[in-house]
Structure 1
């Protein structure tokens, strides 16, 4: 990752923070983007852009253009921004389906479309999306979330086919990630079986690296010990 410019969306979340720190440790220049406000001052190798709604195409383009202007290039886009909701189909709010689509599909779509010209100009343009094992077969209460993540899977495949030979586009499909929020919501679960943010980040950064030049269109399960 030495010298590469990497954009990480959802950079202030549990997984985004780990991915950003690992990328920096491997020599990358990192631009973190998040809906939440950022208090981190910029450095030569890191900037954080907060208060950005990536479900809005204009905001996504503005922030990607700003990153490319700041660092002079863009080599990898890691789309971590997203959300989760647990509701049954019959009893849930229809607006939840719209919210999940906006948080999970539109954020990845808008940032990817904005980044495509810059990534195509790189010698190793990469997009890595976050799908979900739970989107392969939705369980009870997982309808809105699984449908949106299935959309991320199809977006990944379509972009990979359209930009083959110019940009690699892949997705990781985690099971439950071991985060404080997930532990709080499922206190009786066996946390040792979950995939850790560090384990998932290693796979993400592999797909964003030169070593993964021959991989595109992959939906890679990262299921921990489930």
Structure 2
């Protein structure tokens, strides 16, 4: 095991982990040695993720329900004895011009992408501080740095999450907690790539703008999350990582 990413003896929560990027992140953290709480709404999918992991449990939760936050944290501590890592990955998306955005869409996206991350982190912080080396990794979006058409509500909710990343880093750095964000570009095997690909020609419109000439993968995201969760990233705090193949270079 690489010493800069080994997570033996650590316990993690990964939200939105019943599939897509979240499930890949959960597996990567488990492979690095962490016990993992997989959080999501879909019980059957969540149980399928944890059954192949050495130390993992599934907690069914709708994170837009404030009562779920303490339950997720308490269940993790009850099962694994501690909490060291929180990955705020759960998110909602919509696509279309801002002028067509509805209040229903706005409330749904902000409730999960921003409000739920805020209050779940608030519930988790005492345990992360007690860990002595707590890690929070927020999964944001390259759309907060280089915006794109049709994602005004989503991108602005993730921009709020970027600001929380920096604020929590400032407030809790002295407590030993490190808070960083990963801002992926379009993730080819991520569930939120479909709306983007529906109105963009990837080959024509997107790939020529990316120096790496490919889209991100869930494995790319998981690799950066695992690094940020490990001891090798101890002096990284309040950093927004543009995982975009050079798009914003």
The answer for unaligned runs of 5 or more in structure 1 is none
In the superposition, relative to structure 1, how do residues 205 and 92 fare at CA in structure 2: closer, same or farther (>3 Å)? same
Task: Quote how far apart the aligned CAs of 1:68 are.
Answer: 0.8
Alignment check: 8 A CA contact 1:157 1:217 kept: yes
Alignment check: 8 A CA contact 2:183 2:240 kept: yes
Please tell me whether residue 213 in structure 1 is matched to residue 222 in structure 2.
Answer: no
CA separation in 1, counterparts of 2:107 and 2:28? 33
Please tell me whether residue 117 in structure 1 is matched to residue 138 in structure 2.
Answer: no
Task: Quote how far apart the aligned CAs of 1:209 are.
Answer: 0.6
Task: Quote how far apart the aligned CAs of 1:225 are.
Answer: 5.6
TM norm structure 2: 0.84
- Per-residue CA deviations over 1:25-77 (Å, capped at 9, x if unaligned) read 11111111112223347786110112x11122221111111111111100100
Task: Say what the alpha-carbon RMSD is for the aligned residues.
Answer: 1.9
In the superposition, relative to structure 1, how do residues 180 and 139 fare at CA in structure 2: closer, same or farther (>3 Å)? closer
Q: Which residue of 2 aligns with 1:4?
A: 10
Please tell me whether residue 39 in structure 1 is matched to residue 56 in structure 2.
Answer: no
Please tell me whether residue 133 in structure 1 is matched to residue 138 in structure 2.
Answer: no
Please tell me whether residue 179 in structure 1 is matched to residue 189 in structure 2.
Answer: yes
CA separation in 1, counterparts of 2:62 and 2:191? 22
- Per-residue CA deviations over 1:59-99 (Å, capped at 9, x if unaligned) read 11111111111111001001111111112221221221111
Task: Quote how far apart the aligned CAs of 1:181 are.
Answer: 4.1
What does 1:7-156 align with in structure 2 at a 5 Å threshold? 7-37=13-43, 38-40=46-48, 45-50=55-60, 52-156=61-165
More helix by share: 2
Q: Tell me, what secondary structure is at the counterpart of 1:90?
A: helix
**132-141 or 153-162, which moves further after superposition?**
132-141
TM norm structure 1: 0.92
CA separation in 1, counterparts of 2:192 and 2:64? 24
Q: Which residue of 2 aligns with 1:189?
A: 202
Task: State the number of aligned residues.
Answer: 225
**103-112 or 173-182, which moves further after superposition?**
173-182
Alignment check: 8 A CA contact 1:196 1:224 kept: no
Q: Which has the higher contact order (CA 8 A, sep 6+)?
A: 2
Q: Tell me, what secondary structure is at the counterpart of 1:8?
A: strand
Q: Tell me, what secondary structure is at the counterpart of 1:149?
A: helix
